[in-house]
Amino acid sequence: MKKLSLFLSALLLSTTVLAGCSSGDDNAADGQTTVKIGIFKNVTHAAGYVALDQGYFQKQFGDDVKIEVQGFDNGSDFSTALSTEQIDIGFVGPGPSTNQFVKSKNFRVISGSNNGGAVLVAGKDSGVNSVQDLKGKTVAIPTKGSTNEISLRLLLEENGLKVTTDDTGVQIIARAPADTLLAMRQGEVDATLIPEPWGTQMAKEGIGKILVDWDQIPPNNGNYPLTIMVANDKFLKEHRDLAKKAIAANIQGIEFIKANPEAAYTSINNQLKQLSGKGLDVEQIKAALAHCNLTSDVSVEAIEQMAQVSIDAGYIKGIKKEELDLKPFVDLTLLEEVKKEAK
């Protein structure tokens, strides 16, 4: 870690003045580069929050780079924005980003950020006390094709349940996390597989209970990529050095959280307030973060497994499972370079 810290410090000193802009029309008159970063309003994006709040991105990029942050509620909107170059780089789940990549093939996974951090919550009066009890019930996920839906489908399959549109199986509906919170309060849905901090908030309010904790959610019992760092091909081609520095900032965010958890809670809350208009109780952030495994590593095998579920569910069309090739999608070359140069 000491060597990595020395490398990261060196990167701060070696920031190169770069002309042009990753998004064309956003190039300032003084030649300043604008980097547009996308991120979710979830604690599972904690490393990105800290990297922003502690100024790691800005220090890595240098004063000649302007940062614009855009918050997203779901991976589908994020992935569309990335593929259409509305944003350059950011944090998302593998489910929706894989679905979009198969269609557009113009962005890549360049680093991990967090493994796990989603939980299955059952409503207080739902009568659901086990996964098997979900038969005939309605379960909410943030958006169709999301990483959370893929995990839910795997969990149901493990328990011999099918996804249906009637009471012979489990009905899945898509609702934004904030709307799901309201629906759980009103008893309109029976359960939800949802990223933190939403599950912890529901449990604290007493409107639901965590039925399956994060370290039992498939695949790999929670040790699957839930938050990855991705960048579009145009940004990678024009600003490869900035992409490496973004990876370094992400790693700094991970290290800061592990070394300074109390200070990290404040940083995370600061960014939550900016993105959603309101923060969380520090104890909720602490509890939610305990459900996350922050890491820059990426399990390609887990992403491939989730992609196969997406094919079965009809979210990835026009390709058979045996034809799926995600090697161009998961390109960890820059991450490997950052780690190698840190040694």
21: pLDDT strictly greater than 70: no
Domain 2-116+225-342: top CATH class: alpha beta
18: pLDDT strictly greater than 60: no
Question: Is this model's pTM higher than 0.85 or not?
Answer: yes
| DSSP structure class, residue 308 | H
Domain boundaries, the chain: 2-116+225-342, 118-222
- CA end-to-end distance (rounded Å), the chain: 9
pLDDT computed for residue 16 by the predictor? 34
Least confident stretch, 63-77, 220-234, 247-261, 317-331: 317-331
pLDDT computed for residue 342 by the predictor? 82
Give the contacts of 57 (CB within 8 A, at least 6 positions apart): 35, 37, 51, 67, 245, 246, 249
pLDDT computed for residue 30 by the predictor? 62
pLDDT computed for residue 7 by the predictor? 47
Mean pLDDT of the chain: 91
45-94 pLDDT, tens digit per residue, is 999 999 999 999 999 999 999 999 999 999 999 999 999 999 999 999 99
Q: In percent, how much of the chain has pLDDT > 70? A: 91
Q: What mean pLDDT comes out for the span 232-236?
A: 98
Same fold, 2-116+225-342 and 118-222: yes
156-184 pLDDT, tens digit per residue, is 999 999 999 999 999 999 999 999 999 99
Judged on CB neighbours under 10 Å (0-12, 13-18, 19+), 217 is: buried
Q: What mean pLDDT comes out for the span 8-27?
A: 41
Please name the fold of domain 118-222.
D-Maltodextrin-Binding Protein; domain 2 (3.40.190)
Least confident stretch, 26-30, 80-84, 98-102, 205-209: 26-30
pLDDT computed for residue 32 by the predictor? 87
Place of tokens 């000491």: 2
Q: pLDDT-derived band of residue 29, with 50, 70 and 90 as boundaries?
A: very low
Helix ranges (H only) for 125-232 are: 147-158, 177-186, 198-205
pLDDT computed for residue 82 by the predictor? 98
126-135 pLDDT, tens digit per residue, is 999 999 999 9
24: pLDDT strictly greater than 60: no
Query: Do 248 and 338 touch, CB atoms closer than 8 A?
Result: yes
Q: pLDDT-derived band of residue 25, with 50, 70 and 90 as boundaries?
A: very low
Query: Do 114 and 197 touch, CB atoms closer than 8 A?
Result: no
CB burial string 27-47: b at 16+ within 10 A, e below: eeeeebbbbbbbbbbbbbbbb
